[in-house]
Structure formats: C-alpha cells, structure tokens
Amino acid sequence: MATVQVSEAEKVYILHGIRDDLRVDGRGCEDYRHMEIETDVVSNTDGSAKITLGHTAVLVGVKAEIGKPRPLVPNEGYLEFFVDCSANATPEFEGRGGEELGTELSNTLYKVFNNKHSVDLKSLSISAGEHCWVLYVDVLLLQCDGNLYDAISIAIKAALFNTKIPRVHISSDDEGGKEIELSDDPYDCMRLDVENVPCIVTLCKVGHRHVVDATLQEKACSVASLIISVTHKGTVTCTRKVGGGSLDPESIYEMTEAGKRVGKALHAPLMKLLQQEESLGTKRQKVGFLG
C-alpha cells in the first residue's frame, strides 16, 4: 500500500481524535467517505464498474470466456481474479513494485469468493464436464488513498451485477461432438444473481479503538488491521489479519462484530443504487473517466 510519513505529534493528534470519535475529516469511527459508483464504463468487457471512494479509484472489468470446468467440480463454472496495481496510483508501483500487493489482493479475493453461496457457480455451467463459463475478473487500481479492499469488493459486486453473459445453445454436430452456438441477439443474455456476493470491510486498530475506511495517515498510525468479508445477511465468509502488530482476542471479537454491522449496512444502499442506475437505461448520463 502507498505509505505516507507522519510525525510523532501528528500521530498523537490522530490517535486522540479517534479515541474521541472525531477523525481528522470529521467522520465518526464507522463512517465511510463519499463514494461514487458507475457501471458499464469499459465497452469491450461483459461487465465493468468504476468506484471512487474518497481519492481511491478502482476499475473492475469482467470478461466471460468458455473453458473447461475444474475436474473436481464438473458441473460448475469458476471465477479468476487478477489485481493490477498500476503505476498511475503511486510511483511505488512502478515496474514490478506493485506485484506483491497485487498478489496479496488477488489471494484474498480468492478466499472471499471460495464459498458456494457467494456466486451461483452452477449457473455458469454449459455442459457438465466439458464446457463452462469462466469469469475473468480484472481489477485495476487507478488511485490509491487507503482502503483498497473495501473499494475493490464493492466494485466487483457492481461489475458482477452489470455482467451480461450471452446465452448458448448446445447442439450436436455431424461427428457426434458438441457444438456451441452463441445467440445472435445481443440482448439475449444471462445475468448473475449478486445478492449473496460479500463485501469486504477493513477495520484498522488505532490505539484502543478501530476505524472503518482508514485514510493513509490513519493507516500509518495503526499497527494491525482486520479484513472481514460480510454478506448481506451478516454472514462472515473470510477473515484475515494484516499488519505487524498484535491483536487481543477481545478486540478481534469487537472488531468482527463492528465489521458485521458495517458490512451488512453496505449492501442495501449499493443494490438500490445499482438498480436505480439500471432503471435509468439509455437516459443515464455516462461520466466514465471525465468526471
């Protein structure tokens, strides 16, 4: 993650502020920054979304390809994640600098989605054992201002909501093999049910309290963070601790409860916004990268 240098006195100021529930920008400990979400920004993908959370900007593109299902689960499709930390975000990511962070983020995403309820993988199967849909989810970090996990997970949920997978017809050809035909109608497509896709909440421990959506300065004052992925029902699908400091079991419990509460509250406004955007249809003013 991009780091900023903070002086001792600034750290003390931030610490005392969080203790009194008044952060540097006036937020409470469990408030998010201003978020702007837009889907369908990249034209040559099957689904895409761009999210701006404060100054963090993340772009997600989903491409659906036909592939062979995994041997252990022949009647399911699967998702592949790739996170690219571009040098656009911070000079530290130049060349191979962003690779480490990118692999860490992708591995966490695999863990989060490694749950049969998150995405209905059976709906991605075309013919058992032979063909299935593979969804390649590519995440691009455009700007980094803290709280990457949350922004990425919300963007992935929005992109999956926006994904349109073409319908296929399987017919057997002359030699007895299967032939796959994509439907000619561009609007004849299958949508994914993203109700159960989890959202990640990062809680940073600063002093004796924890904060949600930490900025880079607050991150510099914290020694440990907890990453929790929560579904809309409040179920936790994955937990990870990052950072070199230690966490008390009691504080882990408190942070998990807070994470569940905050995570649960993220889903409803997000789904409402996505449905509102969808209902605007062609009347929607596309902003893309100009705004």
For residue 27, CA distances in Å to 54, 134, 164, 211 come to 12, 41, 37, 10
**Piece of the chain touching another protein by CB under 8 A; list 6-14, 107-115, 232-240, 249-257:** 6-14
Report, in Å, the least distance between residue 165 CB and another protein. 24
User: What are the distances in angstroms from CA 48 to CA 42, 58, 120, 157?
Assistant: 6, 11, 19, 10
Q: Contact between 129 and another protein (CB under 8 A)?
A: no
Name the pairing type of β-strands 56-67 and 78-85.
Answer: unpaired
Q: Which tokens sit at 177? A: 């093999």
Contact between 151 and another protein per CB under 8 A? no
Number of chain residues interacting with another protein (CB under 8 A): 41
Q: Which is nearer to another protein, 20 or 179 (CB)?
A: 20
Query: What is the four-CA torsion angle of 224, 225, 226, 228, rounded to 10 degrees?
Result: -170
What is the CA 243 to chain-centroid distance, rounded?
Answer: 20
CA 68/CA 129 separation, integer angstroms: 7
- From the list 119, 128, 201, 198, the residue with the least C-alpha distance to 163 is 119
Instruction: From 120-128, 202-210, 247-255, 262-270, give the range in contact with another protein by CB under 8 A.
Output: 262-270
Question: In angstroms, what is the minimal distance from the CB of 38 to another protein?
Answer: 5
Nearer to another protein, 240 or 284 (CB): 284
Under rule CB under 8 A, residue 161 binds another protein: no
Beta-sheet pairing, 47-53 with 56-67:
antiparallel
- C-beta of residue 90 within 8 angstroms of C-beta of residue 77: no
- Sign, CA torsion 195/28/244/138: positive
The reply to whether 283 sits near another protein by the rule CB under 8 A is no
**Residues in region 23-62 near another protein by CB under 8 A:** 23-28, 30-38, 52
Least Cα distance to 126 among 68, 199, 87 occurs for 68
Site string for another protein, 221-260 (x = CB under 8 A): ----------------------------------------
Cα dihedral angle (141, 242, 254, 230), rounded to 10 degrees? 40
Least distance (Å) from another protein to the CB of residue 130? Answer: 41
* In the complex, least distance from residue 133 CB atom to another protein, rounded to whole angstroms: 29
Smallest distance, another protein to C-beta of residue 157, A:
12
Tell whether residue 63 is a contact of another protein (CB under 8 A): no
Q: Which of 168, 189, 252, 273 binds another protein (CB under 8 A)?
A: 273
Among 94, 99, 269, 275, binds another protein (CB under 8 A): 269
- Tell me the C-alpha to C-alpha distance, in Å, between residue 240 and each of 212, 229, 236: 15, 9, 11
Shortest gap between Cβ of 193 and another protein (angstroms)? 20
Q: Where do contacts with another protein occur on this chain (CB under 8 A)?
A: 5-10, 12-13, 16-17, 20, 22-28, 30-38, 52, 262, 265-266, 269-270, 273, 276-277, 284-285, 287, 290-291
